[in-house]
Copies of this chain bind each other. A is one copy, B any other.
Amino acid sequence: MDKGPHLIKKIPDMMNIVKVHKQNQIIGFVPTMGFLHKGHISLIQSARKDNDIVVVSIFVNPKQFAPNEDIDRYPRNIKRDIEICREQGVDYIFYPCAEEMYPNGFQTSVSLSELTKGLCGKSRPTHFSGVTTVLTKLFNIIQPDNVYFGQKDAQQAVIVKQMIKDLNYPITMHILPIIREDNGIAMSSRNKYLSAGQMKNAEVLNKSLKLAETLIKQGERNCNRLKKIIYHKIENENRNSNANIKIDYIEIVNFDNLQPIENVRTNTLIAIAVFIGQTRLIDNIVIK
């Protein structure tokens, strides 16, 4: 075989390739929307270590964007993505177009009833059904033994884990830590939208989470007080910088079932979503 990555655009081609490898090799899969950054690279590197074959999918999935969302301006750079995948030793990039994934007459959806209600599901009510539908397809096409997701999309990770369990996929899920810029901002393709000034404003997400973490280490357990402290930290940044910062949510929940809790305990997720201008950013920490 040539040195990878092979770029595969058609579902039957990908399935034929998988069929051959499946006979005696372990397949690792990293689903992405492309415009790869160091967060994706950490997933790919984990996949490379654990598996014989590594498949990365690049698909800006229309079903997980609402009509008012940013699918058209979502950043893309397939040439650079291929180069990154080559450097990281990826074997195959699955790169289908929307018509290949959702041909005329497509009408099946996969959805979860409970885990999708809170957090990002409140302001993006159709988002997660788009995610679980496309992942069901990708899991059937690529038939991975291992899949890799980032903790940055914490709710997504919990939902996909539950979906794998509910639908009995023979797949092991790996959730890897958030990778951050030097200034603490969580890596995200959407950071591309931010001006230099907004990038500075965006530091407040991680800073407010770090503040909460410090207070928890000092003994604070009350979630309402912690949420208020995060709220004021972000609102201060908004006032002082005269930036257009709008809080979507600040939630403290059980990381297993995403249910709100009153007091911090083990495995607590503190998750926030904030608009900086038009750009919606999310960040979180898990208190182990």
Which A residues have a C-beta under 8 Å from some C-beta of B? 11, 15, 19, 23, 105-115, 132, 136-137, 140-141, 162-163, 166-170, 257
- Pairs across A and B, CB under 8 Å, 10 listed: A106-B166, A107-B162, A108-B132, A108-B162, A109-B113, A110-B110, A110-B136, A140-B168, A140-B169, A140-B170
Q: Which residue of B lies closest to A16 (CB)?
A: B170
Count of chain copies: 2
Q: Are A167 and B132 in contact (CB under 8 A)?
A: no
**Which of A15, A107, A113 gathers the greatest number of chain B CB atoms within 10 Å?**
A107
Interchain CB contact (< 8 A) of A112 among B108, B132, B141, B166:
B108
Chain B hits for A170, CB < 8 A: 15, 19, 140
- Identify 11 new A-B residue pairs, CB closer than 8 A, beyond the known A11-B168, A23-B23, A137-B167: A107-B113, A107-B114, A107-B166, A108-B110, A108-B111, A110-B110, A110-B167, A111-B111, A136-B136, A137-B166, A141-B168
Q: Which residue of B lies closest to A170 (CB)?
A: B15
